[in-house]
Amino acid sequence: MSLPSRPGTGLPLGSDGYPAAGGVARRPAGQEESARANRRWWDAAAPAYLAEHGTDLGDADFLWCPEGLREADAGLLGEVAGRRVVEIGCGSAPCARWLARQGAHVVALDLSGGMLARAADLNRATGTAVPLLQGDAGRLPLATASMDLACSAYGGLPFVADARAVLAEVARVLRPGGRFVASVNHPMRWPFPDSPDPEDLQITSSYFDRQPYVETDGAGRTVYVEHHRTVGDWVRAVVGAGLVLGDLVEPEWTAGRTQNWGQWSPERGALVPGTLILVCDKPG
């Protein structure tokens, strides 16, 4: 029996509404392969992803991570009112709309047309219309030194093959004295199975194996790519882009939060970190 596919993507969907993987491997995958696969995957997965996580993300809220840390409480970006901000990997753009409601001048960028279509719907539904751009994080369609702030909440960075190129682009579009804050999968999640159960916290692969996680369809075509970097890799990428690393935040699980999110859970979150947040400034 053939599986249904999302129109325009050609990707068969599983019973959960997400693209069905025919195979999984750890192997090299370059930037073009990663971008092409992930654009199609997110176009196909957008309805299922937002049906599962949309309530938690909100329509105009800034959630940094599955642990429940929100910008309203953390203030990692500092003062945003009146600032020019680009959100990289905005998805349905709830963070961008939250920033706009705080008085920021925001542009929201994503690789996926499917996600941006939902963002446009929510712009209309909420009455908070932020400008939307479709583009690659490694080639930002923005002028040099045109932004005061840049942010990315699990958007783009885990899915690009060349994180240094993305950070160099971020540094280019930031004005001197600007700030970039990004949340990514904590590198410590990679050696463990993708399970929320703390009983599964057994090392099954090497922390130092930087080969990406790759899913393929039944014909062997790449449909999803996620890249792993160590903590040291992230630090070197930030410094190599000419940014100053001001903080590395490892959010603890928010008290009273009960939502599981993939391998993130209250039980697992009490034991090991699941998110790393990079707080970076451009000298000037």
Describe the chain by its helix, strand, coil percentages, rounded to 5: 30, 25, 45
Predicted pLDDT of residue 8: 63
pLDDT confidence tier of residue 2, bands split at 50, 70 and 90: very low
Type and span of the H or E element at 281: strand 275-281
- % the chain with pLDDT above 70: 97
**Nearest-angstrom CA–CA distance, 170 and 179:** 9
Type and span of the H or E element at 231: helix 231-240
* Domain ranges across the chain: 23-281
What single DSSP character describes residue 59?
S
Which among 218, 148, 212 has a CA at the least distance from the CA of 185?
Answer: 212
Q: Phi and psi dihedrals of 123, rounded to 5?
A: -55, -45
**Nearest-angstrom CA–CA distance, 272 and 198:** 9
- Distance separating the N- and C-terminal Cα atoms of the chain: 60
pLDDT confidence tier of residue 10, bands split at 50, 70 and 90: confident
**Nearest-angstrom CA–CA distance, 207 and 137:** 25
**Nearest-angstrom CA–CA distance, 193 and 199:** 10
* Residues 182 and 173 sit within 8 Å (Cβ to Cβ): no
Give me the CATH topology for the region 23-281: Rossmann fold (3.40.50)
* Stated pTM of the model: 0.95
| R_g over Cα of the chain | 18
**Nearest-angstrom CA–CA distance, 200 and 156:** 28
Q: What is the pLDDT of residues 41-59, one digit of tens each?
A: 999 999 999 999 999 999 9
Predicted pLDDT of residue 1: 36
Strand order in the sheet with 213-216: 23-26, 213-216, 222-226
Q: What is the pLDDT of residues 78-121, one digit of tens each?
A: 999 999 999 999 999 999 999 999 999 999 999 999 999 999 99
**Nearest-angstrom CA–CA distance, 12 and 3:** 5
**Nearest-angstrom CA–CA distance, 80 and 232:** 29
